[in-house]
């Protein structure tokens, strides 16, 4: 199983809502990532988890709150988002957080903030 799954595929939320994005992998990977991709732009790293601990936070606003409850699951909790946060949110995983490792990406959650 070389698949990273993400739910939901699409999400529309208001600025006062609280929602969560979910990511799952069963490849035994110990590194998991959240990226944000705006239209016609490259993915931009948000967070990196290594062995279920937050390893990198790329100065992401606190309205985005990641959580890694176990080695297979990664969540992104959303609260009080702004319309400019509308984007495709990609989850990825790799064997470990080392620079030679291939990252396996999920299909993304397309988020629209009204």
Partner 1 sequence: AQSVSQHNHHVILSEAASLELGCNYSYGGTVNLFWYVQYPGQHLQLLLKYFSGDPLVKGIKGFEAEFIKSKFSFNLRKPSVQWSDTAEYFCAVAGNTGGFKTIFGAGTRLFVKA
Site string for partner 1, 75-94 (x = CB under 8 A): ---------------x-x--
Q: Which CB sits closer to partner 1, 42 or 83? A: 42
Alpha-carbon distance of 50 to 71, in angstroms, equals: 9
Q: Which CB sits closer to partner 1, 80 or 88? A: 88
Q: Applying CB under 8 A, does 66 fall inside the site for partner 1?
A: no
Q: Which CB sits closer to partner 1, 41 or 77? A: 41
What backbone torsions phi and psi does residue 86 show, to the nearest 5 degrees? Answer: -60, 125
Question: Edge-to-edge strand order for the sheet containing 64-70?
Answer: 4-7, 18-25, 73-79, 64-70
Alpha-carbon distance of 12 to 32, in angstroms, equals: 24
Shortest CA distance to 85 belongs to which of 52, 47, 36, 42?
36
**Minimum distance from residue 17 beta carbon to partner 1 (Å):** 26
**Minimum distance from residue 18 beta carbon to partner 1 (Å):** 26
Residues that bind partner 1 (CB under 8 A): 4, 40-45, 48, 55-56, 58, 90, 92, 97-100, 102-108
């Amino acid at each position: 199983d070389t698949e990273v799954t993400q739910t939901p595929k699409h999400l529309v939320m208001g600025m006062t809502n609280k929602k969560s994005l979910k990511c799952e992998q069963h490849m035994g990977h110990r590194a998991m990532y959240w990226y944000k991709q705006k239209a016609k732009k490259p993915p931009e790293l948000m967070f990196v988890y290594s062995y279920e601990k937050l390893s990198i936070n790329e100065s992401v606003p606190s309205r985005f709150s990641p959580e890694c409850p176990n080695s297979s699951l990664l969540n992104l909790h959303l609260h009080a988002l702004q319309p400019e946060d509308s984007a495709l949110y990609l989850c990825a995983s790799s064997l470990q957080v080392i620079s030679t490792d291939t990252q396996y990406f999920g299909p993304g959650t397309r988020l629209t903030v009204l």
